[in-house]
Structure formats: structure tokens, C-alpha cells
Structure 1
Amino acid sequence: MGRQKRSYIAVSAVAALLAVAGCAGQGRGTAPGDAKGRPTAPAPRTPSGNGKGPADGKGPAEGTLPGVPSAAQARTQLARLKVAPQRSMTGYSRDRFPHWAEQGDSCNTRETVLERDGRDVRRDAECRAVSGTWTSVYDGRTFTKASGLDIDHTVPLANAWRSGADTWTQEKRKAFANDLTRPQLLAVSAVSNRSKGDQGPDEWQPPARSYWCAYARSWTAVKSSYALTVTKAEKATLVSMLDTCRG
């Protein structure tokens, strides 16, 4: 065998070894490294849309409500609530709960909740939602026009009145009607909101059973924050609804 042929075989063998080594490295799925061969951290994930989803740590049935307690916290709060019959509706009027309050930048409470609870919401110069997508957690219906939505008070104003708000100052009732820090306000389908009216959990529950856990936790948190009373039937129903929570 001539020197030229032997050299050709040697070069081919080295090339084959290098190719095999390269394929073996790729097959192990090793992470890319930096210039010194150290592994690099994967690029951070950025939340999609407006960041309302798994990135904010909330389950899909909780929507965008702030201040929703855990099921365990809600059970503790519920156990501490005073049980009492509902009071009289004498003197009640929605005007006793001024809403919707101005929230700055020409926006009122309604428009603020619409922006918070929707996706890709666009507002005009007067802060009115002119487009976007909203899903009503009460019944799972989806809307692309804000006109199909109501802003619901988790604990209705009339229910609050019968539970102790009749003794509050007007300023406190205004704060209650425009509360954006507790799970008291949310955008839902107009039909579900009007079906609910001023009824308590023992009289009305969201058609979407998947929302019962979040609804009971939210209702309990609001009544606890404002030291409102619950009826015996109301408390029993809340206990049952909390039992639908996982964990």
C-alpha cells in the first residue's frame, strides 16, 4: 500500500471519529454553554398577553380578583363571622353606596375593573373600553364588547345593608362599593349578574360550578374584611362550597 493511500485512510478515520463524537454529544441533549464551557441558564419566560395567567400564580377559576384567600384562610375567617338574621331593608337605596368613583386618568371604578379583567383591552380618550376580550367566571361566557358585561359586587350592596352596612357612614359605604383591593368587584355577564341580584350563596350560586371555590373564598373574605354578619343558611352553604376546593 503506497504512502499516499495510507495517509488518505488515516485522515478518513480521524474524520469519522470526530463525526461520531459530535453526534454523541448532541444525542445527550446537553445545555448550551458559554465561551468557557460553563452551562448557561435558560432565557426567562415572559408572560403572554397582559400577564394574567399562570405567570401571576392564580388558578384559571380565580380570574383576576385581588385578595382572594386560600381555602384554609377562608374557613378560618368564616368560623369567626357572626351569625345573625338579616336586618331590615328599611332606608336602603343604591344611592347610599356611591359608585362608580373616579380612579384617576378619567377612569372610574367600572372602567378600571373592565381593564383589569379583560385581555388586550383598548380604551378611548374618555377611558371607555372600546375593544377587548372578557370571560365571565360565573358562567364561562366570552365577550368582545364591554356592553355585555356588568361589574358585580361579590357581596351585593343590599346584602351588605342587611348584614350591617346600614350602620356605616356614607364614606365607608362608598369605599365598599368601589373596593379594588379585595375580591369584591369583577366583570361578569350581565345575565348572570342580574340573575344573582342581591341573593346570598344559599339562594344563588354561579352556574359554573368550577368557580364555587373561588366564589366562597371571595364572599367570605369580603364579609370578614368588613365585619358583616352571615345567616345560618348562608354559612352552611359557604362551608359546602369551600368543600369543593382542592387541597
Structure 2
Amino acid sequence: MALVGLVAVGCSPGDSSSSPSQDKPSASGPADDGKDGSKDDSKAAGEKGLPGVPTAATAQHRLAGLKVAAHGSMSGYSRERFPHWSAQGNSCDTREKVLARAGTDVERDAECRAVSGHWTSLYDGKEVTDASELDIDHMVPLANAWRSGADAWTQHKREAFANDLTRPQLLAVTASTNRTKGDQGPEEWQPPAKSSWCTYSRAWIAVKTTYRLTVTSDEKRKLDDMLETCHR
């Protein structure tokens, strides 16, 4: 994410031709209903700085509107088709931007690298003071995105997806949980800290909705189950 986890292993070209509108998420539809806060849902440890997490009610509505389809082929996939971590100005890249927003008392050196701070990993609730113990995870892994629609995107759109700082797609988590997750969806892997399931499901749904990615029937069913934890 050379810090350990420079590349988030679990998150995870010849581009398909597309119209200009395919190069960025749609500006209309359920992804932009304005309900991106979490006023009626308690925040989980590790949610700090995670943008665009919808309420449970909004997430439930969006989940119902997602297209259900079997996973597509992995043919042609490679992580290089989702360029990351992109430069973000002032010597910072995407990884360092996520570390800064997710932590408290984060100190950075002249090259924008986090040299001290305090972070809480959403997936396991572990408190971390050494940034080298953290990976920047793609909430919806790159391989999962590929087989649910991103294979047809342009390289430009895939780079935007892999470096999206405006939606709940990137978060700092312990390297061990990130690598256990791999490219699995919620039907196959859930955060070991069950207290994070509400946030996790809401964030996953937000990303899939924004980018018009499909979900499998098992994935949709498990997301629905995880949303139930928001009301307990």
C-alpha cells in the first residue's frame, strides 16, 4: 500500500470502447439520492473518514434495485487494469490520503508518508499505531468488480474506481484481515468483528450501486442479512 501492504492484495488492458458517460459513475438514479449520512445508524469502530455511507434504510432500497446476475468470467483480468495508487497532489498518493482521513493525530513526512498516528481497523476492531501494519482495502475488490461489470469499462473508469476517495470504496484495515478477505464477496467472507457488518454492508451496496455493478443471488441475500444487524 515501502510500507507493508503497499498493494492491497485482497482488493483488489485493452479497454472496451465506451461512450463518455461510461467513464464515470452515473450522476442520476439511486446512487445520488442525497442520503449519504448515517444519522440513524451507529458508527462502527474504524468507520472514521469513510465517505458516502448511506443509512440502512437507503442501503436496503438500493440493494433491492441492484441487478442480480451470476459472476462473469475472469478472462483478461489483472490488477494492472485498475491502476492504483494514483498521485493526489502535494507528493501524496491515494494510499496516503486514505491513511490521513482514517486516522487521528496522523503525522506525515515531507514525502507525505504517514510516520505516526492512530487507526482502528473496521474489519477486526484492532487499534494500530504503525501504518506499515495497514493495507488500503478496496471495499468491492477489483476482481469482484471485474466479474460483475468492470470488464467492459475503459481503463480510465477502472482507475477512477480503484482510487475513489469520494465513496466508501477505500479504507485502512489490518493487513491480515485484508488478505484473508482476498477478492471474496460478502457471501463468502464477512469481517470478523460482527459490529462492523452494518457499516460493511451499507458501504458495499453504495459502491455497487454507484458503479452499476451486479450482485449474485447469494451476495444479495447475505447483504440483506448483514443489514439486519443495523437494527440490533
TM-score normalised by L of structure 2: 0.80
Give the Å deviation of 1:137.
1.1
Task: Confirm or deny that 1:111 pairs with 2:96.
Answer: yes
| Cα deviation 1:180-201 (Å, max 9, x = unaligned) | 0000000000000000000000
Higher helix share: 1
Which residue, out of 225, 228, 231, partners 1:240?
A: 225
Q: Which position in structure 2 is the counterpart of 1:158?
A: 143
Q: Which position in structure 1 is the counterpart of 2:82?
A: 97
Q: Which position in structure 1 is the counterpart of 2:166?
A: 181
The percent identity for this pair of structures is 69
Residues 123 and 177, structure 2, Cα contact 8 Å, conserved in 1:
yes
Q: Which position in structure 2 is the counterpart of 1:83?
A: 68
Residue type at the aligned position of 2:43: G
| Cα deviation 1:154-205 (Å, max 9, x = unaligned) | 0000000000000000000000000000000000000000000000000000
Which residue, out of 164, 167, 189, partners 2:152?
A: 167
Which residue, out of 44, 48, 59, partners 2:43?
A: 59
Give the Å deviation of 1:60.
3.9
Q: Which position in structure 2 is the counterpart of 1:11?
A: none
Unpaired runs of 5+ residues, structure 1, are 1-56
Q: Which position in structure 2 is the counterpart of 1:29?
A: none
Give the Å deviation of 1:58.
6.7
Unpaired runs of 5+ residues, structure 2, are 1-40
Secondary structure at 1:67 match in 2: coil
Task: Confirm or deny that 1:125 pairs with 2:110.
Answer: yes
Q: Which position in structure 2 is the counterpart of 1:142?
A: 127
Alignment of 1:2-13 (within 5 A): none
Secondary structure at 1:150 match in 2: strand
Give the Å deviation of 1:78.
0.5
Give the Å deviation of 1:246.
2.3
Supply the distance in 2 between the matched residues of 1:58 and 1:95 (Cα, whole angstroms). 37
Computing the radius of gyration over CA atoms, which structure comes out larger, 1 or 2? 1
| Cα deviation 1:105-146 (Å, max 9, x = unaligned) | 000000000011111011000000011111101001111111
Tell me: CA distance 1:60–1:83, structure 2 relative to 1, closer, same or farther (3 Å): closer
Task: Confirm or deny that 1:206 pairs with 2:223.
Answer: no
Residues 116 and 131, structure 2, Cα contact 8 Å, conserved in 1:
yes
Secondary structure at 2:106 match in 1: strand
| Cα deviation 1:19-45 (Å, max 9, x = unaligned) | xxxxxxxxxxxxxxxxxxxxxxxxxxx
Q: Which position in structure 1 is the counterpart of 2:181?
A: 196
Supply the distance in 2 between the matched residues of 1:137 and 1:164 (Cα, whole angstroms). 27
How much is the aligned-residue C-alpha RMSD, in angstroms? 1.2
Number of residues paired by the alignment? Answer: 191
TM-score normalised by L of structure 1: 0.76
